[in-house]
Amino acid sequence: EIKGFAFDLDGVIADTARFHGQAWHQTADEVGTTWTEELAESLKGISRMDSLQMILDHGDHADEFSQEQKEALATKKNLNYQKLIETLTPDDILPGMLDFITSADKAGYKMSIASASKNAPLILKQLGLTKYFVGIVDPATLHAGKPDPEIFVRAAEVIDLVPESVIGLEDSAAGIESINGAGQVSLGIGDPKVLNKAALNFEQTSLVTLDNIAAKMN
């Protein structure tokens, strides 16, 4: 029996990917890497420092940056990103997700956040959603990021549920792998070809409802 939900944030609750994209595009220009849509897509769910490394690896100057310079680039990206997410309001919640979260809350499901983003608390506050979640896994305390199961294991601990009672919601392939590894029911939001390891799939957030989930579980 399902008793709770563990949510990814970027791409599931809010469309912050376009802001990450804008800020990383600026970094790419600065380090001489050509910015492409494929590169943007591959950064979804990937931590800040790993994302920077991927951007550097896509250019011709990857070895020319010291650890100190990399940290400065990541800090600058994050400040630019934070300026963009300060403009977020509850109107930026992805279609249907406010309804889903409030109806799950009313029905007594426990909810937590499993996001790779260190900015998750700020984003939830901007969206007015903080009060619905029992807790947010702090990605700074993880040994390994998605696709490792650790973040979703911790998200189930936050709501004090065994993995089989939890549905994990994700928009990235790395995230689906993490949910499956944690022994939870994976719910993918997006292209079923990209998320082909998901137990349940919805092409868009507006289709994610308690009734639609129940129908697919049978």
Query: What positions carry a catalytic annotation?
Result: 8, 10
Binding site residue list for Mg(2+): 8, 10, 170-171
20: partner contacted, choices Mg ion, ligand B16, none (Cβ within 5-8 A by kind): ligand B16
Residue 11, interface with Mg ion (CB under 5 A)? yes
Residue 8, interface with Mg ion (CB under 5 A)? yes
Q: Least Å distance between CB 119 and ligand B16?
A: 4
Number of residue whose CB is nearest Mg ion = 11
> Which range, of 34-42, 60-68, 93-101, 164-172, touches Mg ion by CB under 5 A?
164-172
Residue by residue, DSSP assigns the chain as ---EEEE--BTTTB--HHHHHHHHHHHHHHHT----HHHHHHTTT--HHHHHHHHHHTSS-GGG--HHHHHHHHHHHHHHHHHHHTT--GGGBPTTHHHHHHHHHHTT-EEEE--S-TTHHHHHHHHT-GGG-SEE--GGG-SS-TTSTHHHHHHHHHTT--GGGEEEEESSHHHHHHHHHTTSEEEEES-TTTTTT-SEEESSGGG--HHHHHHHH-
Mask for 73-112, x = binds Mg ion (CB under 5 A): ----------------------------------------
Judged by the rule CB under 6 A, the positions of this chain that interact with ligand B16 are: 8-11, 20, 43-48, 51, 78, 115-119
Residue 177, interface with Mg ion (CB under 5 A)? no
